[in-house]
Amino acid sequence: MMEVNSLFSFSFGGKNDFGEEIRVAESKVMDFSSKPCGVGFAVRTGHEVDDFTGQKSIHLAIISSSEAVMTVEFKTEESRGAAEISQKVHLMAGENENEVLIPQDLSSPLKEVVFFFGRGKRVDDVTVVFDDLLFKE
């Protein structure tokens, strides 16, 4: 089991288009009124984790201020920043516990896992807390 203590938070578009490190269990407000695309949280090889070798699933405990759809994107060395495979996770307002399987048929080693919240038609603020984030063998 591999526990993750921080995430790389980033946004696309809007006034605050930048990235920053946030700690697990730290509250993050996603200001969708100013983000045309969305907000993401990444776990990257060589930064938040050494590597993903042998990991088979991700245990997520997330607190959300409202319902939201999160896409879990699996990016590999060969996918050049694009998601090779992605899975949708539907979050309810309140506490959410989810288990996401890591695809084992990727074209090359897993480089990054991104938890992405697309804006869509949202214009409200959503607060999320990654209360627990574990990679399991």
Kindly tell me if the per-residue pLDDT of 132 is higher than 80.
yes
Q: Model confidence at 70, in pLDDT bands (50, 70, 90)?
A: very high
Query: Residue 35 above 90 pLDDT?
Result: no
- pTM given for the model: 0.91
Q: Tell me, what's the pLDDT at 12? A: 73
CA dist 104 and 101 (Å) reads 9
CA distance 45 to 52: 7
- Which DSSP category does 80 fall into? T
Instruction: Indicate the burial class of 98 (C-beta count within 10 angstroms; 0-12, 13-18, 19 or more).
Output: middle
User: How far is Cα 41 from Cα 10, in angstroms, rounded to an integer?
Assistant: 6
At residue 52, does pLDDT exceed 60? yes
Average pLDDT over residues 21-44: 84
